[in-house]
A = this chain, B = another copy of it.
């Protein structure tokens, strides 16, 4: 049976210091979280990485190197980005670390949840934020100071584990549900949907292909908040195909979805 915490992955984007990757692996392991994904780290394998991992070598060995954030998130159902502070002005749902732990614990093990950490100095870009359905921040004494990235990962993983333990202690053992259409759609399925949507909107000239950014951003947020199931995405894509005068064909697996000209 899948352990709930196995459904969490930690994504680090363009990490500069290899030592931080090692410290992050150790932080994850202390809290029982093992799935590390590294998007274009400056340097990964260094003696410092291994020294600071201090025994979390299994996490480093299994860590997945990804060439894009999109690739790192492909099998995830829900993506939570980290921000240095509460950004109430941004139009994403916002959580603090404790709320995030509770949210994550309540949605495991049905959903694969990604927690995305940006660069050491500059965090996540606006484009990367577009891939997130919610934002989490760690409360701090000063807004102008910042946590080390491994320390931030330590606190978020700690809160996820604490909340998961609390929930497990209070509920009877559950029957693992079979993978199916009523599960939330994966990020890969959502990406295919957004591409499909963009194509469709360009075709009907609702969207300017030379400047699709703002509209698509708002649509991403909208559908991201809905957190649709796979069957709902199938319906949405069926509608798009119908608008396009195309036929939408579902392959054998719910994850392998393609649009074909008829």
Chain A residues close to B by CB (< 8 Å):
5, 23, 26-27, 29-33, 52, 54-56, 98, 138-142, 145-148, 150-151, 154-155, 158, 161-162, 165
Interface centre among A141, A162, A165 (most CB of B within 10 A): A141
Copies of chain A in the complex: 2
Q: List 27 A-B contacts (CB under 8 A).
A: A23-B151, A26-B147, A27-B151, A29-B141, A29-B142, A29-B145, A30-B140, A30-B145, A30-B146, A31-B140, A31-B141, A32-B140, A32-B142, A54-B148, A56-B145, A98-B162, A138-B158, A139-B161, A139-B162, A139-B165, A141-B161, A147-B154, A150-B151, A151-B151, A151-B154, A155-B155, A155-B158
Cα distance, A165 to B31, chains bound together (Å)? 25
Known: A139-B161, A155-B158. A147 touches B98 (CB 8 A): no
Additional pairs, 13, CB under 8 Å, beyond known A23-B148, A26-B151, A29-B141: A23-B151, A26-B148, A27-B151, A30-B140, A30-B141, A30-B146, A31-B141, A32-B140, A32-B141, A98-B162, A139-B165, A150-B151, A154-B155
Q: Which residues of B contact A151 (CB under 8 A)?
A: 23, 26-27, 30, 150-151, 154
Q: Which residues of B contact A33 (CB under 8 A)?
A: 141
Please state if A30 and B161 are interface contacts (CB–CB under 8 Å).
no
In the complex, residue of chain B having the shortest beta-carbon distance to the beta carbon of A52: B148
Q: Which residues of B contact A26 (CB under 8 A)?
A: 147-148, 151
- Closest CB of chain B to A164's CB: distance in Å? 10
- Closest CB of chain B to A57's CB: distance in Å? 12
Cα distance, A52 to B23, chains bound together (Å)? 13
In the complex, residue of chain B having the shortest beta-carbon distance to the beta carbon of A34: B141
- Closest CB of chain B to A163's CB: distance in Å? 11
Cα distance, A30 to B141, chains bound together (Å)? 6
In the complex, residue of chain B having the shortest beta-carbon distance to the beta carbon of A141: B32
In the complex, residue of chain B having the shortest beta-carbon distance to the beta carbon of A3: B141
A30 CB contact (under 8 Å) in B54, B147, B150 = B147
